[in-house]
Amino acid sequence: MSASSWDAAVIGAGVIGLSIALELSQRGRRVIIVERDQPGYHASRIAAGLLGTAGLPVGELPAMQPLKLDSLRRYPQFIADLESISGRDAGYHDDGTLRVARDIDDGEQLELLHADRQQHGLPAQMLTGGEALELEPNLTGALVSGLLIEDDVQIDPRRLIGALVSACLAKGVEIRNGCGIDRASRSDDGWTLTPTSASSSTESISAALVVVSAGPWCDRIRRNAPDDELGDAPVVTSGVGPVKGQLLRLRGPHLLQRVVRTPGVSLSQRRNGELIVASSKEPEAGWDRSPTDLARRTLWDRATSLVAQIGDFELEEQSVGIRPAVSDHYPLIGQAGDGLWIATGHYQHGILLAPATAHYLVEAIERGTVPDAIASFGTEARP
C-alpha cells in the first residue's frame, strides 16, 4: 500500500472541516481532506442557514454566546474572502429576522428575550402585533407582538458548501471523496491514516497533523498501536453522537422579506423563491435518515398556520440530516493528542460557528497555545 504525505489531513468535509482546511491552506500548509461521502452531505447541506442572534436563547450557556457573536462578526469578511477565492456566490444576505408571538405566553417569552438582549447590548426593536403585520403582511391571523432584529443574516448552506469546495481546490487542497478512515497510527514523523476497505481509494495518507472533524463518526476511527490494550481504542473519544433533523424545501411566490421565527417553526425564503421550513430535532432517531410523515405534517401545519398561502406551495424536498452533538451541546474544539486536533459536536450551530472555529483552531495549531475563545471547548475542559 502506497502513502501520500501532507502537512495536514482533515477528516470530514462538512462546513467545519472545509473551513479549517481552507484556513490551513491560506497559511501555507499542504492540506488533504478525506470525506466518507460527499462534502456537506450529512448535516451542512441540510441546515437552514439562519445565522443571526435571534436564535440565541435566553440564559444561554455562558461560553456559547460569545463564540457565536464572535463568529457572526467574522462572517462578512469570511464570505468576502471565500467569494473572492472561489469566484462563487455563497448565498449570504442580511435580511434581518422578525420573531412573532401569537399568544400571551409567546409574548411573554419575546419580552424576556428583548430584556436579555438589552442586557447583553444586542439591538432589537419590540413591536406591536399590528406593526409586525405591517412588516410582513402575508402573515396569517392576529399577532400579540413582534421582535425585529434588523442585523440578522442568513446563508444558503448548499451555496456555501459549493463555494468552500471551490475555494479549497483553488488553494491546492486535495479533497478525497468516498474515503472513510478506519484506522490511524502515530509515529515520530506524524500520523498515518488508513482508509476503510469500502473506500474509493486504498492509499494510506501520511500527515504531520490531523484534524478530526468527522461529526458523529469521530469515535469510529480506531487507533493502530503496538500495545494490544490500545490497539482498538478510538483515536479520540469525543462522545459525539447523531441527532436527526428534518426540514422542508418548498417553492412558490415570494411572500417573506426576512426570516420569520416562532417558538415552533422558522421560515426563510431565498431570492429564487425557495422557502425553508425548519426544523425538527429527533435525538432518539439515532442514525436513521428516513423522512417521516409526522415531521412533514408537523412542519407543513406550522408553516401554513403562520402563512396561509404556503398551502399552495410545491414541496420540492423533505431534507433529512444528522447533526453531531455531545450531551452538553457544547462543541469540541481543541487538541486531542500529539499532532491531533478535533473540531466536532457543533450540533445546530455548525454553519454559524465555522468562521470562528476555523480561525481559533488554526491559531492554536500555529502558535501551540489554545486561544481563550475556545478554551472552554477542549476535551480536557469536559467533566
Residue whose C-alpha is closest to residue 221's, from 200, 241, 195, 187: 195
Cβ-contact 360, 324 below 8 angstroms: no
Looking at the DSSP bridge assignments, the partners of residue 249 are 276, 317
Burial of residue 177 (CB within 10 Å: 0-12, 13-18, 19+) is middle
CA dist., res. 157 & res. 255, Å (int): 21
| Amino acid 58: pLDDT | 59
Distance CA 278, CA 154 (A): 13
pLDDT of residue 198: 82
Q: What is the DSSP string of 180-201?
A: -EEEEEEETTEEEEEE-TTSS-
Helices (H), 136-268: 157-170
144-158, 280-294, 369-383: range with lowest mean pLDDT: 369-383
Average of per-residue pLDDT across 24-37: 97
Q: Find the range with the poorest average confidence among 55-69, 190-204, 273-287.
A: 55-69
Q: How far is CA 75 from CA 62, 120, 274, 313, in A?
A: 21, 20, 23, 32
Handedness of CA 155, 95, 74, 121 (dihedral sign): negative
Handedness of CA 67, 46, 110, 257 (dihedral sign): positive
pLDDT digits (tens, 9 = 90+) for 98-134: 999 999 999 999 999 999 888 888 899 999 999 999 9
Which CATH superfamily hosts domain 94-152+241-323?
A: D-Amino Acid Oxidase, subunit A, domain 2 (3.30.9.10)
161-176 confidence digits (pLDDT tens): 999 999 999 999 999 9
Residue with cell 441527532: 243
- pLDDT for residue 59 is more than 60: no
Q: Any bridge partners for residue 209, and if so which?
A: 8
Give me the phi and psi of 256, to 5 degrees please. Answer: -120, 135
Q: What percent of the chain has pLDDT over 90?
A: 78
pLDDT for 116 equals 85
Mean pLDDT to the nearest integer, 331-338: 95
Q: How confident is the model at residue 78 (pLDDT cuts 50, 70, 90)?
A: very high
How far is the C-alpha of 14 from the C-alpha of 5, rounded, in Å? 22
Neighbouring residues of 269: CB distance < 8 A, sequence distance ≥ 6: 254, 255, 256, 275, 276
Question: What is residue 60's predicted lDDT score, i.e. its pLDDT?
Answer: 57
* Domain layout of the chain by residue ranges: 3-48+159-240+327-381, 94-152+241-323
What DSSP string describes 77-104? HHHHHHHHHH-S---EE---EEEEE-SH
Model confidence at 225, pLDDT cuts 50, 70, 90, reads low
Please state, in angstroms and rounded to a whole number, the distance separating the CA atoms of residues 146 and 148.
6
Distance CA 230, CA 26 (A): 36
Gyration radius (Cα) of the chain, Å: 21
Residue 1 pLDDT = 38
| Cis amide leading into 25 (omega within 30) | no
d(CA 153, CA 78): 13
Q: Is the pLDDT of residue 228 over 70?
A: no
Res 62 pLDDT > 70: no
Class of the CATH domain delimited by 3-48+159-240+327-381? alpha beta
pLDDT of residue 223: 86
